[in-house]
């Protein structure tokens, strides 16, 4: 399993620039301070509480900032959070954290931290992070898929992260992988998210991810392969990266099932050399991805 190095990251900005990085999910909240070379200097996290999520996050942020080296405080804040995001207002509406529907995340974080804040979807943040100092450095055409609380992708074509009309390109979790299949949080049937997201799998098995039966692990790989085959035919990438809590928990059996299914589903000759690479377990991955969001600013946030 390839694990990207966090060394040697491109440092186009000031060497001493530091980023406050925040990774939000339905199961955990993480924050850290990341250096200009992608090194995670401080990190902390808590389980996402059922109530009072915002006060919990504010305490976490203050703890991280207090632990950061005082001589060079962060100058920008990047956030990876489940979508959809409304970039005009800086709000987000994660389906799995109902208390945050329409929450003005960007404005509230700017008020708490005093920093410019950029928010981004998990897959898009992953793509930015991997392009900055991970497995996609110097790769012009890449799809980065985050398989965690939600399934989400960042799509880079010709070296540019695709945005779309509302900046929500890459919600691969809502590609249909099973006609008349399981109902999705979006209301449609057969979406990838209903088979491969951590929450869907845990509610299906009534077990933690680490104790998922092999048949469900293999089904997850099959469904991921179907979505990757469809997306690859459309986008023509040279590399597909798969990261997140689900591949980290499932490991090799997931990717073996994925590769078997891909052989059947992806028959276009020009896609024969496509690399699908797991990057589960990369140290600091989600926080580096969030820092990359701050670094990539100006994003289409306003
Ligand atoms: Zn859906």
Express each pLDDT in 115-140 by its tens digit.
999 999 999 999 999 999 888 988 99
- CATH superfamily, domain 136-278, is ATPase, nucleotide binding domain (3.30.420.40)
Query: Do 136-278 and 18-123+284-295 fall under one CATH topology?
Result: yes
Express each pLDDT in 1-12 by its tens digit.
333 333 346 555
Q: What is the pTM of this model?
A: 0.89
Express each pLDDT in 12-30 by its tens digit.
555 568 999 999 988 899 9
CA of 165 to the centre of ligand 1 (A): 19
CA of 194 to the centre of ligand 1 (A): 7
**Residue 292 to residue 146: CA distance in whole angstroms:** 15
CA of 286 to the centre of ligand 1 (A): 23
CATH architecture of 18-123+284-295: 2-Layer Sandwich (3.30)
CA of 248 to the centre of ligand 1 (A): 23
Q: What is the pLDDT of residue 220?
A: 98
**Structural domain spans, the chain:** 18-123+284-295, 136-278
CA of 229 to the centre of ligand 1 (A): 18
3-state secondary structure of 162: coil
Average pLDDT over residues 67-90: 90
**21 close to 287: Cβ distance less than 8 angstroms:** yes
Q: Lowest-pLDDT range, 39-53, 84-98, 206-220, 269-283?
A: 269-283
**Residue 148 to residue 125: CA distance in whole angstroms:** 13
What residues pack around ion ligand 1 (CB closer than 5 A)? 174, 184, 186, 188, 191
CA of 185 to the centre of ligand 1 (A): 6
Name the pairing type of β-strands 40-47 and 85-86: unpaired
**Residue 68 to residue 287: CA distance in whole angstroms:** 14
Residue 189 carries which DSSP code?
Answer: B
């Amino acid at each position: 399993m390839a694990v990207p190095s966090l060394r040697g990251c491109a440092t186009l900005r000031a060497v001493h620039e530091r980023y406050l990085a925040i990774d939000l999910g339905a199961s955990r909240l993480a924050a850290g301070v990341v250096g200009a070379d992608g090194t995670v200097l401080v990190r902390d996290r808590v389980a996402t509480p059922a109530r009072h999520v915002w006060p919990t996050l504010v305490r976490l942020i203050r703890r991280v900032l207090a632990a950061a080296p005082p001589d060079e405080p962060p100058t920008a804040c990047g956030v990876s959070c489940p979508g959809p995001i409304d970039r005009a207002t800086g709000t987000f509406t994660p389906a799995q954290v109902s208390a945050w529907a329409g929450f003005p995340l960007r404005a509230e974080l700017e008020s708490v931290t005093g920093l410019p804040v950029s928010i981004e979807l998990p897959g898009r943040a992953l793509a930015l992070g991997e392009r900055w100092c991970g497995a996609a450095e110097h790769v012009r055409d890449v799809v980065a898929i985050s398989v965690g609380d939600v399934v989400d992708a960042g799509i880079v074509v010709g070296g540019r992260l695709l945005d779309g009309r509302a900046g929500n390109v890459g919600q691969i979790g809502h590609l249909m992988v099973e006609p008349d299949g399981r109902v999705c949080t979006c209301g449609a049937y057969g979406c990838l998210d209903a088979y491969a997201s951590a929450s869907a799998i845990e509610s299906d098995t009534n077990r933690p991810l680490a104790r998922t039966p092999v048949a469900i692990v293999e089904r997850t790989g099959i469904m991921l392969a179907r979505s990757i085959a469809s997306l690859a035919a459309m986008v023509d990438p040279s590399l597909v990266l798969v990261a997140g809590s689900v591949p980290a928990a499932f490991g090799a059996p997931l990717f073996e099932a994925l590769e078997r299914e891909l052989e059947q589903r992806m028959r276009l000759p020009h896609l024969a050399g496509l690399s699908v690479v797991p990057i589960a377990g990369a140290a600091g991955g989600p926080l580096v991805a969030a820092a990359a969001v701050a670094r990539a600013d100006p994003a289409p946030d306003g």
